[in-house]
Amino acid sequence: MSINLKEKGKYKYIDEGSGEPLVLLHGLFGALSNWEGVVNYFSRNYRVIIPMLPIYDMPLREAGLPGLVKFLRGFVDIMDLDGFTLIGNSLGGHIGLLYTLEYPDQVKYLVLTGSSGLFEDSMGGSFPKRGSYEYVREKVGYTFYDPNVATDDLIDEVFETTKSIPKCLRIVAIAKSAQRNNLAEELPKINKPTLLIWGLNDTITPPMVAHEFNRLIPHSKLTFIDKCCHAPMMERPEEFNRILEKFLQDNDG
The fraction of the chain above a pLDDT of 90, given in percent, is: 67
Per-residue pLDDT band at 75 (split at 50, 70, 90): very high
Domains of the chain, by residue range, sit at 6-252
Mean pLDDT over 1-27 rounds to: 91
Per-residue pLDDT band at 9 (split at 50, 70, 90): very high
Per CATH, the number for 6-252 is: 3.40.50.1820
The whole-number pLDDT of residue 125 equals: 42
User: Mean pLDDT in the chain?
Assistant: 90
Q: In what order do the strands lie in the sheet with 47-51?
A: 6-8, 11-16, 47-51, 21-25, 84-89, 107-113, 194-199, 220-225
The CA distance from 181 to 52, in Å, is 22
The CA distance from 167 to 224, in Å, is 33
Q: Please say whether the beta carbons of 205 and 116 come within 8 A.
A: yes
Q: What angle do CA 129, 116, 214 make, to 5 degrees?
A: 155
The whole-number pLDDT of residue 126 equals: 45
How many beta carbons lie within 10 A of that of residue 27, not counting itself?
A: 26
pLDDT at 90 over 90: yes
The CA distance from 154 to 138, in Å, is 12
Instruction: Kindly report, residue by residue over 128-138, the tens digit of the pLDDT.
Output: 455 677 777 77
Per-residue pLDDT band at 245 (split at 50, 70, 90): very high
Q: Which amino acid is at 158?
A: V
pTM of the entire predicted model: 0.92
